[in-house]
């Protein structure tokens, strides 16, 4: 009987996997996305157009902005990720914590929602909520135009600002300001991509909210912030001139 049950489970698993692949295929067609059949999304996942999720990704329950991609094995469930964000392979979350202010951090001295049955509980009456999250209940918030390097680990509850860069193998335990470059274990600010005035300018322009046609029009200037700023100033001056 055990062999029959094992075969039955395999058959059910194969059918479920085949149905999921069909669902992902239809999802890609209707949403203009490129989600691998080996990536995990669900009915609570919201993807804007031209999102790419490679094999092994897990973005169940997440919201992901357009033109964002995630490399092999990146797992950011229940997160919010902005537009034009680049996530390399192997990005992971630290979803749980232990009470370092207790005498012991071992789970047997307090009660958690995920306490394994194999652990003896010396005191299960002391509650400790070990699941980390942002104020809105999301795992993490990652802004627009963010670049996350390979094998980065992010602690739940963290917000990464627009335009930030996270170096490969970094451990992000605190919020990252917009346009900061961080790296290391734990991650620390190395420098900023631009001056404070330039950062404020980019945050006010919010080019990632433009439609694709407008972005394509300005794209030759994206290689130089000075040229980008100059083109916007010329456009503004032309508009003001037409109003006179």
Is the preceding peptide bond at 38 cis, omega within 30 degrees of 0? Answer: no
Q: How far apart are CA 43 and CA 49, in angstroms?
A: 16
Determine the pLDDT at residue 111.
Answer: 63
Q: Which range, 97-111, 177-191, 212-226, is most confident?
A: 177-191
Q: How far apart are CA 170 and CA 166, in angstroms?
A: 7
**This prediction's pTM:** 0.81
Residue 156 corresponds to which tokens in the numbers above? 């739940």
Largest CA distance in the chain: 87
pLDDT confidence of 27, banded at 50, 70, 90? Answer: confident
Taken in order 73, 78, 83, 85, the sign of the CA dihedral is negative
| Nearest CA among 42, 1, 36, 40 for reference residue 9 | 1
Instruction: Say whether 93 sits in a helix, a strand or coil.
Output: strand
Residue 101 annotated as catalytic: yes
Per annotation, catalytic residue among 98, 101, 133, 229: 101
Summarize pLDDT for 127-183 with one digit per residue, the tens: 666 656 666 777 799 999 999 999 999 998 899 999 999 999 999 999 999 999 999
The position carrying tokens 């900061």 is 180
């Amino acid at each position: 009987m055990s062999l029959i049950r094992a075969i039955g489970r395999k058959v059910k698993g194969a059918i479920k996997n085949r149905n999921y692949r069909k669902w992902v295929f239809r999802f890609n067609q209707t949403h203009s996305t490129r989600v691998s059949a080996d990536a995990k999304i669900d009915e609570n996942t919201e993807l804007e157009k031209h999102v790419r999720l490679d094999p092994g990704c897990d973005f169940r329950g997440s919201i992901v902005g357009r033109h964002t991609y995630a490399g092999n094995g990146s797992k950011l469930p229940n997160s919010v990720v902005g537009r034009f964000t680049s996530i390399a392979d192997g990005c992971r979350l630290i979803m749980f914590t232990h009470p370092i202010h207790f005498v012991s951090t071992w789970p047997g001295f307090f009660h958690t929602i995920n306490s394994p049955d194999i652990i003896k509980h010396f005191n299960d009456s002391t509650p400790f909520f070990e699941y980390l999250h942002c104020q809105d209940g999301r795992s993490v918030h990652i802004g627009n135009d963010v670049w996350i390097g390979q094998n980065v680990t992010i602690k739940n509850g963290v917000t990464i600002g627009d335009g930030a860069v996270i170096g490969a193998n970094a451990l992000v335990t605190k919020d990252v300001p917009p346009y900061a470059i961080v790296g290391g274990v734990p991650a620390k600010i190395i420098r900023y991509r631009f001056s404070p005035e330039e950062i404020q300018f980019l945050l006010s322009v919010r080019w990632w909210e433009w439609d694709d046609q407008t972005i394509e029009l300005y794209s030759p200037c994206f290689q130089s912030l000075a040229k980008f700023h100059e083109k916007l100033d010329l456009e503004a001056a032309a508009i003001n001139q037409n109003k006179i």
